[in-house]
Structure 1
């Protein structure tokens, strides 16, 4: 996944367009995957099979690793325990730091403990990338966080719930994106003048920023910011914050852009 520059101005609206150009296509692909898995699960008179579903998912995700300079480092489907048991049909590839010895086909399956009786088993349904879309029924971005399970680097995980019959949750489809790769492509589009432009998640954590003092994962603190983040439906356009800052949601990405003077950091 690469970004084609359209505007390199620090204006909030142009920056929002650049951010949406990165994330909206990823969610569009996840929606296609969810539809295919839903159709597979809805076949009459058949029982879902792990190997068969893994083959379907692998064919989908393989395309995501074809771009040698892309941001995708992991992708797949994670089953609800009541569908295929505790099972991850998840692959690593591309620039994934956790895959230094990829097989000839360029990707590898993520091996995890799937026995809930094992003392090292981890209940993934308690993790944010599963829990939030399962509760809301909507797309979600988790991170940035250091993914010690898959990538060992700052990661954004985009997930979407998958249903059978419209109401039975059978799992989530997802894609891991490298924050380093996103930063490489996105920061030049956010502008490089005296106005700092920062992309934050719904919790106010920095994803990327043109302000070199703002590290990925740091918490951005500005008067009025918490209130705006608490209500994504509060505004569709740019609004003023304290001082010379402006704030704007980036469409349906669950990310927002803050532009203005160098910001203040809260303790981590």
Structure 2
């Protein structure tokens, strides 16, 4: 890819600017939780859960936030009183497993008994596996999150590493529908079809109503154009630097959206 300053690059920068505040909030949470755990000789769920609730609660209930769920997930065996543990809260706007909206902050009812039929080993999921391997922030999705949202979601997670060992991670869920609402005004500013995809080419948002969330965008040369984003994820380096772009054989421009691991396809 070559450096460019085009309308596509400008839109890509605006997309990054929409998502960057979510990254910043998560990084603040990561630092605070890491400091809390490092200062505790025997971290326990009973002590950390109220802190996590206070930490994420303000953002979850803030008007206009993109975040609908957030919290801390412990590495198996890290907490003395909870071998498997999710301290994850949902905002009042989240409809997950409830028919009532606006009921306020509530905790995700996660199954933590590995012998239970409904138990889910979260260490096998992408939002855990990639940060565990790379020791860096990761954006997962869009995907249907049956564990926390039951809807198309983007999950951003950042690992907490203490003395070289994974203690857990902090993260946030963003409903794709809310992300679309935030991004579409920027996408519609162009006079061409705009589609935001992840590093694998799956659609996050598009001005083309026929392009479904989560579907693969099929375009000649797109996989190669997105290869640098996939390589950054594999190497554990989320930084995309200045807007990078390439032109596909069909004429579409592909531009990285800052360090979000997303890209804009402008046709």
Q: 1:109 is matched with which residue: 107, 110, 118?
A: 107
Q: CA RMSD in A?
A: 2.0
Aligned 8 A contact 2:92 2:101 in 1: no
> Which residue number corresponds to residue 252 of structure 2?
245
185-194 vs 220-229, greater mean Cα deviation: 185-194
Q: Deviations over 1:225-261 (max 9, x none)?
A: 112222226984222112220011111111111100x
Residues 1:93 and 2:91 are matched in the alignment: yes
Aligned positions, number? 248
Which residue of structure 1 aligns with residue 25 of structure 2?
A: 29
Query: Structure 1 residues 193, 102: closer, same or farther in 2, change over 3 A?
Result: closer
| Structure 1 residues 141 and 18, CA gap change in structure 2 (3 angstroms) | same
| 1:179-217 deviations in Å (ceiling 9; x for gaps) | 111111210111255411110011100000111111111
1:206 aligns with 2:197: no
Question: Paired residue for 1:120?
Answer: 118
Please say if residues 144 and 216 of structure 1, whose CA atoms lie closer than 8 Å, have aligned partners that are also in contact.
yes
| TM-score, structure 2 as length reference | 0.87
Q: Does the CA contact (< 8 Å) of 1:138 and 1:160 recur in 2?
A: yes
Alignment of 1:30-69 (within 5 A): 30-43=26-39, 46-69=41-64
In the other structure, the counterpart of 1:156 is: 154
Q: Is the 8 A contact 1:249 1:257 kept in 2?
A: yes
Aligned to 2:244, what secondary structure does the other structure show? coil
The C-alpha deviation readout for 1:35-93, integer Å capped at 9, x for no partner, is 1111111116x210102111111111111122334321100010000312210000011
Pairing 1:178–2:175 present: yes
Cα distance in 2 for partners of 1:189, 1:126 equals 35
Q: Unpaired runs of 5+ in structure 2? A: 1-5, 233-239
User: Could you list the runs of 4 or more consecutive aligned residues of structure 1 that deviate by over 3 angstroms after TM superposition?
Assistant: 99-104, 233-236
**TM-score, normalised with respect to structure 1:** 0.86
Distance across 2 between alignment mates of 1:246 and 1:172: 35
Unpaired runs of 5+ in structure 1? 1-9, 261-268
Shift of 1:21: 1.4
Q: Is 2:189 aligned against 1:189?
A: no
- Once residues 256 and 81 of structure 1 are traced to their aligned partners in structure 2, the CA distance between those partners, rounded to angstroms, is 34
Aligned counterparts of 2:193 and 2:137: Cα–Cα separation in 1: 28
